[in-house]
Amino acid sequence: MTSTLQTMAPAMSARGLTKTYGVGDTQVVAVGGVDLDVAAGEVVLIMGPSGSGKTTLLLMLGALLRPTSGSLLVGGVDTTTAPQRDLPRLRASHFGFVFQDYNLLGALTARENVELACNLAGTTGTAARTRADELLARFGLTGRAGFRPEQLSGGEKQRISIARALANDPAVVLADEPTANLDSARGHEIARLLRGLADEDNRSIVIVSHDQRLREVADRVLWLEDGVFREVASMAVDPVCGMQVERTGPSLEVDGITYWFCANGCRDEYLTGRAL
């Protein structure tokens, strides 16, 4: 699947995306010169340890944060050089956002949350309501259209969040830890829904997450650490926490097999488990 997708012109193309904070001795490089092409219909999963720059990168990809340098082409527009006044319109027309904490407005019903996203891009009245109802129906939420977020389960709130992300038919959907607050069954459901957006709508899906369940729906898995991409094939899997880790950290050889760990704590836990 991936090889076919990569022969197509990218729906989104980033070159040298960099974000730094501070100057001189206090300068911190949050993201350092990232290149990324995402094809239409492709699901890209970006993983990495906490503090690796994943959220910063996602914010830059969605034109929510200006990079220090680099370019980002979406729909023929470089969002990094577009005037600040044009960015809300560009975000509304090109991107849909799905968040870990849903970010639904508690005072609005499910339908109204989706309608509002339509309104912000200029679609109002009957057209906005019709679009909202169509999207809620697609995700099995017709019976919940009049409910407020506090009356809904986590899985239902995330499906509404996905419906809202599609309100203006974006080419690219960006998801920040979309399954983190969900149990196993609901997490798998959301993973399949995101895969479906790529397969059925030919949308580009970029996900940042720690959740290993999302690997099964991704065309590519990229590992971000210290603000740069590293080759996943060269990584090992911590046998305790399941995190991808570099083969330079704490390790342990058991019966001729070398295990790598994200931290000494996981190595100690592994040793304790073997002793028991």
> Could you report the per-residue pLDDT of 219-232, keeping only the tens digit for each?
999 999 999 998 76
Q: Are residues 125 and 11 in the same domain?
A: yes
pLDDT of 213 strictly over 90: no
Q: Are residues 160 and 197 in the same domain?
A: yes
Name the more confident of 181 and 7: 181
pLDDT confidence of residue 3: 42
Q: For residue 178, what are the domain limits?
A: 2-234
pLDDT confidence of residue 127: 97
Q: Are residues 193 and 261 in the same domain?
A: no
Q: Is 121 helix (H, G, I), strand (E, B) or coil?
A: coil
Q: Are residues 240 and 201 in the same domain?
A: no
pLDDT confidence of residue 218: 93
Q: Are residues 185 and 74 in the same domain?
A: yes
3-state secondary structure 189-220: HHHHHHHHHHHHHCCEEEEECCCHHHHHHCCE
230 token code pair: 């590293």
Distance between CA 46 and CA 160 in Å, rounded?
23
Q: Which residues pair with 210 in a beta bridge?
A: none
Distance between CA 203 and CA 41 in Å, rounded?
5
Q: Is 82 exposed, middle or buried (0-12, 13-18, 19+ CB in 10 A)?
A: middle
Read off the pLDDT band of 262 (50, 70, 90).
Answer: confident
User: Taking all residues of the chain, what is their mean pLDDT, rounded to a whole number?
Assistant: 90
Q: Are residues 63 and 187 in the same domain?
A: yes
Q: Are residues 46 and 159 in the same domain?
A: yes
Q: What's the gap between Cα 194 and its chain centre?
A: 10
Contact between residue 82 and residue 94 where contact means Cβ atoms under 8 Å apart: no
The total number of structural domains in the chain stands at 2
pLDDT of 249 strictly over 90: no
Q: Are residues 151 and 247 in the same domain?
A: no
CB atoms closer than 10 angstroms to residue 269? 15
pLDDT confidence of residue 180: 92
pLDDT of 257 strictly over 60: yes
pLDDT confidence of residue 126: 96
Read off the pLDDT band of 17 (50, 70, 90).
Answer: very high
Q: What's the gap between Cα 253 and its chain centre?
A: 35
pLDDT confidence of residue 43: 96
pLDDT confidence of residue 1: 47
pLDDT confidence of residue 143: 96
Express as a percent the part of the chain with pLDDT over 90. Answer: 68
Q: Average pLDDT in the 27-55 region?
A: 93
